[in-house]
Structure 1
Amino acid sequence: MTSRWKIRPIQPRDDAAVAAIIRTVMPEYGAIGDGFAINDPEVDWMQRAYSLPRSAYFVVDMDGKVVGGGGVAPLAGGDEDTCELRKMYFLKSIRGQGIGSEMLRRCLDAARSFGFRFCYLETLAGMNDAIRLYEKHGFKRIGAPRGRTGHGGCDTYYLLEL
Structure 2
Amino acid sequence: METKDGFIIRPIKETDNAQMARLIRCVIDEFGVSRTGTVYDDPVTDCISQSVENVNAECWVIDYGGEIQGGCGFYPTKGLPGKCAEIVKYYLSPAVRGKGLGGMILDLIVRRAKGAGYTSLYIETFPSFGKAIDMYKERGFQLLDGQLGDSGHTATSIFMLKVLTD
TM-based fold match above 0.5: yes
1:100 maps to amino acid? G
**2:29 matched residue in structure 1:** 27
**Does the 8 A contact of 1:75 with 1:120 survive in 2?**
no
Which residue number corresponds to residue 84 of structure 1?
86
Write out per-residue CA displacement over residues 98-132 of structure 1, whole angstroms, 9 at most, x where no aligned residue: 01110101111111111111100000012111101
Aligned residue number for residue 5 of structure 2: 3
Matched residue, 1:12: 14
Q: 1:132 aligns with which of 131, 134, 149?
A: 134
* Structure 1 position 42, deviation (Å): 0.9
In 1, Cα distance between equivalents of 2:15 and 2:35: 27
**TM-score, reference length from structure 1:** 0.95
Aligned to 2:68: 66
Contact 2:28 2:35 in 1 (8 A): no
Q: Which amino acid aligns with 1:65?
A: E
Whole-angstrom CA distance in 2 between matches of 1:46 and 1:109 = 20
Q: Which residue of 1 aligns with 2:47?
A: 45
Aligned residues: 161
Q: CA deviation at 1:134?
A: 0.6
Aligned mates of 2:36, 2:68 — CA distance in 1: 26
Percent of aligned pairs with the same residue? 29
Q: Which portions of structure 1, spanning 4 or more consecutive aligned residues, are displaced by more than 4 angstroms?
A: none
Structure 1 residue corresponding to 2:103, chosen from 97, 101, 104: 101
Unaligned runs of 5+ in 1: none
Q: Is the 8 A contact 1:74 1:84 kept in 2?
A: yes
- The TM-score normalised by the length of structure 2 is 0.93
Give the Cα–Cα distance (whole angstroms) in 2 for the partners of residues 60 and 75 of structure 1: 23
